[in-house]
Amino acid sequence: MLICKIGFEHVERGLNCQDFGFENLEHKCVMDGCSEGKHSEVGAKLFGHLLSQDRYSIDDIFGMLSDIFPKYEDVRNHLLFTVLIVSETKEDYIVDICGDGYIIKQKYNDSIEYEKIGEGNVPEYFAYNYVSPDHLSKYKDGVEFKRHILLKREYKAVGVASDGLEYILNSPFKDEFEKHLIGRKEFAIRRLINREHKYFKDDISIVI
């Protein structure tokens, strides 16, 4: 189930949705473009498009993107985005994250746990690796994906979400959302976000 909805503030300010997501046989993935970048959805969508083909590594893709956007200003405006990827082995869910967001864990009794990643920190955007350290106040030594491994014997399903999920979790509609999430009622969640859009200020992407 994949949901990607524009946030209310983006609508109000005439911005594009800067999130993107996809799911295929290999990966479930969401990207969340940095709101300070003028067009960060461009990089997020290009990255997602290329990764979804299962032909290129993450380094390959950022290499291509940095060829398209070679200057520091280009990177800042187009390539700053969080990446959260779920893949599976026979026994594990493997979650690779560079930046911030949420891991959503569904246990076998259908209880849901939300693990916030990168709370309180400046997001670690992978594109910082393609910028001269002179332009960076943090992460001058580069950034890496952090891997989280979750056991299939403990969790029925694992997904990821962009940090916009916090607006749902802190809203009066958290229980309604969770009921639909457990039932994988994609359109009911979409309609909930439409119906109460003013609560959901940031773009929201969820894949599980």
Partner 1 sequence: MADVMDVMGLDDIEQENTAMDDINSETINLVCTLIDESGSMGGNIQEMNYNQSSFKDALANSKEADEMLVAKGTFSNSNVVIGGYKKIEEFDTNYKASGMTPLYDAIVIGAEKLVSYRTYLKDQGMNVKAVFAVFSDGEDTSSRNSLSEARRFVENLNSLEIPTAFIAFGNSAITEATNLKFKSILKIDSNTPDPASALRHAFDVLSKSTIKSVSVVGNKDSGDLFTM
Q: Which residues bind partner 1 (CB under 8 A)?
A: 187-188, 190-196
- CB closer to partner 1, 7 vs 99: 7
CA distance 143 to 173: 35
Q: Which is nearer to partner 1, 147 or 195 (CB)?
A: 195
CB of 177 to partner 1, least distance (A): 12
State in angstroms the smallest separation of the CB of 31 from partner 1.
22
Sheet with 92-98, edge to edge strand ranges? 19-23, 28-33, 81-88, 92-98, 146-151
For 52, half-sphere exposure in the C-beta direction (CA atoms, 13 angstrom radius) is 15
Nearer to partner 1, 156 or 191 (CB): 191
Question: Which of 11-28 are b and which e, b meaning 16 or more Cβ less than 10 Å from the residue's Cβ?
Answer: eeeebebbbbbbbeeebb
Q: Which helix (H) or strand (E) covers residue 113, if one does?
A: strand 112-117
Q: Which is nearer to partner 1, 16 or 129 (CB)?
A: 16
183: left (phi over 0), alpha (psi -120 to 50) or beta: alpha
Query: Closest approach of Cβ 1 to partner 1, in Å?
Result: 12
Question: How far is 130 from 125, CA to CA, in rounded Å?
Answer: 10
CB of 146 to partner 1, least distance (A): 34
Provide the 10 A C-beta neighbour count for residue 51.
22
Q: Are 90 and 151 in contact (CB under 8 A)?
A: no
The minimum distance between CB 189 and partner 1, in angstroms, equals: 9
User: Of 103 and 204, which has the nearer Cβ to partner 1?
Assistant: 204
CB of 132 to partner 1, least distance (A): 43
Which is closer to partner 1, CB of 140 or CB of 191?
191
